[in-house]
């Protein structure tokens, strides 16, 4: 059996989903190492919460990319919907990058008013990534309701 070729937009979404799931897999291993007891030689000595958030978001965003790839040909003609596609891919990449940085050993958590010099920039990056998701979701939802 052969399957029809995926459109370029769907291939971008599938590849993004695979990369996000790969990040989630690495974050799972990192989380297990972070949960080791203090006497374990495998302990990495990092707070588990931000790593778990990275794992969860990367997995969920990967699933969103796969669902979007499946629905994309039904919603958009070939070459259309590039703004929504860009917002989804850039938003998910930016969000996972900020979560990866937030899970790093020197940046445990991020708050709006944090005295560390790089925390406000990280907070703004997360806010921008959420805004990009809203743009993508709004564009896709509007397109879905335009279809008859």
In order along the chain (148 residues), what is the average pLDDT of each group of 10 residues? 70 95 96 88 82 94 94 87 93 93 72 74 88 92 82
What does pTM read for this prediction?
0.84
Are 110 and 126 within 8 A, CB to CB?
A: yes
Q: How many other CB atoms are found less than 10 A from the CB of residue 105?
A: 9
Distance CA 37, CA 102 (A): 22
Q: What is the dihedral of CA 45, 122, 64, 6, to 10 degrees?
A: -110
């Amino acid at each position: 059996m052969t399957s029809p070729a995926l459109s370029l937009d769907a291939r971008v979404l599938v590849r993004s989903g695979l990369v996000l799931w790969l990040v989630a897999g690495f974050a799972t291993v990192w989380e297990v190492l972070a949960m080791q007891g203090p006497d374990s030689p495998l302990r990495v000595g990092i707070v588990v919460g931000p790593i778990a958030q990275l794992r969860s978001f990367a997995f969920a965003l990967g699933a969103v990319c796969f669902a979007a790839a499946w629905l994309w040909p039904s919603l958009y003609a070939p070459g259309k919907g590039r703004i929504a596609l860009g917002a989804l891919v850039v938003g998910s990449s930016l969000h996972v990058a900020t979560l990866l940085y937030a899970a790093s050993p020197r940046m445990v958590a991020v708050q709006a008013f944090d005295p560390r010099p790089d925390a406000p920039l990280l907070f703004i990056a997360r806010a921008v990534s959420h805004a990009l998701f809203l743009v993508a979701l709004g564009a896709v939802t509007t397109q879905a309701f335009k279809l008859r």
